């Protein structure tokens, strides 16, 4: 299609009974979602998405149901208000596989404007939307609509995976909407998080291939590595954060990884405006579909792969809760279990789970190390996949420890105020 259409025209392509797919956060077709939500005639529309960037009006639409593969503040608030929001239990590359199997009729993606040759680039969000969008565009019974934004960075992919782009002639429709991208400011680390980062930094070492999760600790680890002596690093990560840019700018990244050598690889980016400016046209970085980034079968082949992620709680058996606590869906499985598995099984690899020893819930301080994950919590990563656990009180590799020894080691990582209570929960 050669020329853009209006938002109203694009929204009219959705049927009263339909299924829609769009990406997460920066890959979300936000103004298209708003225009669709304004239609009064929708009776049974299912939206597949995740990590909603805004409280779209369609959340309140009685004819719309949202299936989110990753909860954020918007989903949590909408659920509390009684909106029709459900959590779709799947890991990140499983969400892509599901989209390719279910084939929602309408697929929406955020892209750059067409370049001089007519190519739309998916920018900071290839993730679980790129392949389903291309699939829908090639199917005459389906509709692929691009929301183009001149502020979207243009990030190259790899030729064998479609180069993170689609030609404008292949899409069914496109709309123009200039807007700032959603940002995630670099968080200020607490003293406890700085200590966790220091401990993690001591485990990494030169020659490591790194994956960073979201939050203050991964960013702080990256900044410390950028200022420290370790070098010859590779980056293979689900999310590019500001810390990745800091490592590149410090000259620490060689990307000798054993897979996708010579380039930093990710499936989406979320960070500051400065990060997006650094990514624009940067050929040291490639954005790939999530299936070619998160699959543990690929991760096992990376050189000294070190995965750094967070958790909400860990029990004395080593079970990790990272997405559902207190009886509520907090986030999602995402790439957590995939990277824990892949890093643990990579040659000389290392999976590191970081968490502060306490959390504040309802004004009360509680321990994040608990006797057992039970009612109100869900296991994200099972005990037999857990390797390193780090709190501000230390770091321990659970893999060579028997059940009683690992329980004792985890008690030692807990806040001193809770250790006696936890010690009573040792395995019998």
d(CA 172, CA 10): 10
Place of tokens 């990060």: 275
Contacts of residue 357, Cβ cutoff 8 Å, sequence gap at least 6: 192, 367, 368, 369, 391, 392, 393, 413, 414, 415, 418
Q: Using DSSP, state whether 412 is helix, strand or coil.
A: helix
CA atoms of 345 and 275, how far apart (whole Å): 31
Q: Which of 75, 48, 56 is nearest to 324 (CA)?
A: 75
Residue 384 to residue 288: CA distance in whole angstroms: 30
Neighbours of 189 (CB within 10 A): 18
- The count of other CB atoms within 10 Å of the CB of residue 273 is 12
Q: DSSP code of 187?
A: P
Given the DSSP bridges, would you call strands 285-287 and 64-68 parallel, antiparallel or unpaired? unpaired
Distance CA 158, CA 136 (A): 21
Query: Is 220 annotated as catalytic?
Result: no
Residue 232 DSSP symbol: S
Beta carbons within 10 angstroms of residue 192's beta carbon? 18
Q: What is the DSSP letter of 275?
A: H
- Structure-token match 């949202």, residue found: 66
Cα separation, 48 vs 321, whole angstroms: 24
> Exposed, middle or buried by CB within 10 Å (0-12, 13-18, 19+), for 391?
buried
How far is 343 from 336, CA to CA, in rounded Å?
11
* Other residues' Cβ atoms within 10 Å of the Cβ of residue 412: 16
416-423 helix and 403-413 helix, angle to the nearest 10 degrees: 160
E strand residue ranges, 164-298: 165-167, 173-176, 209-212, 234-235, 239-240, 264-266, 268-269, 285-287
Catalytic hit among 192, 195, 238, 392: 238
Cα–Cα distance, 126 to 54 (Å, whole number): 20
Contacts of 160 (CB under 8 A, 6+ apart): none
| Residues with catalytic function | 238
């Amino acid at each position: 299609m050669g020329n853009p259409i209006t938002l109203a025209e694009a929204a009219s392509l959705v049927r009263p009974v339909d299924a829609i797919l769009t990406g997460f956060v920066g890959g979300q077709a936000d103004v298209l979602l708003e225009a669709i939500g304004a239609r009064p005639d929708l009776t049974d529309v299912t939206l597949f998405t995740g990590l909603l960037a805004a409280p779209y009006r369609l959340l309140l639409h009685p004819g719309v149901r949202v299936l989110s593969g990753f909860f954020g503040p918007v989903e949590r608030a909408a659920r509390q208000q009684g909106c029709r929001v459900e959590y779709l239990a799947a890991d990140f590359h499983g969400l892509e596989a599901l989209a390719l199997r279910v084939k929602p009729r309408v697929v929406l993606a955020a892209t750059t404007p067409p370049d001089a040759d007519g190519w739309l680039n998916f920018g900071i969000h290839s993730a679980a939307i790129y392949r389903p969008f291309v699939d829908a565009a090639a199917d005459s019974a389906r509709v692929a609509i691009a929301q183009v934004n001149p502020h979207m960075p243009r990030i190259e992919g790899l030729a064998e995976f479609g180069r993170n782009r689609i030609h404008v002639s292949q899409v069914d429709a496109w709309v123009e909407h200039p807007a700032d991208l959603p940002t995630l400011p670099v968080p200020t680390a607490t003293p406890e998080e700085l200590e966790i980062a220091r401990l993690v930094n001591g485990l990494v070492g030169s020659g490591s291939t790194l994956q960073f999760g979201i939050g203050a600790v991964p960013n702080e680890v990256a900044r410390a590595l950028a200022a420290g002596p370790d070098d010859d690093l590779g980056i293979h990560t689900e999310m590019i954060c500001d810390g990745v840019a800091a490592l590149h700018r410090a000259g620490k990244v060689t990307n000798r990884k054993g897979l996708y050598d010579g380039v930093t690889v990710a499936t989406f980016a979320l960070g500051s405006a400065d990060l997006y400016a650094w990514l624009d046209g940067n050929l040291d970085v490639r954005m790939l579909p999530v299936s070619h980034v998160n699959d543990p079968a690929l991760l096992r082949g990376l050189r000294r792969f070190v995965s750094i992620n967070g958790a909400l709680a860990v029990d004395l058996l080593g079970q990790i809760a990272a997405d559902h606590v207190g009886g509520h869906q907090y986030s999602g499985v995402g790439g957590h279990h995939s990277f824990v598995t892949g890093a643990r099984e990579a040659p000389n690899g290392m999976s590191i789970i970081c968490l502060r020893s306490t959390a504040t819930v309802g004004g009360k301080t509680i321990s994040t190390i608990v006797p057992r994950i039970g009612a109100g919590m869900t296991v994200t990563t099972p005990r037999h996949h857990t390797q390193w656990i780090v709190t501000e009180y230390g770091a321990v590799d659970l893999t060579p420890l028997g059940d009683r020894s690992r329980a004792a080691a985890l008690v030692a990582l807990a806040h001193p105020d809770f250790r006696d209570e936890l010690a009573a929960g040792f395995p019998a």
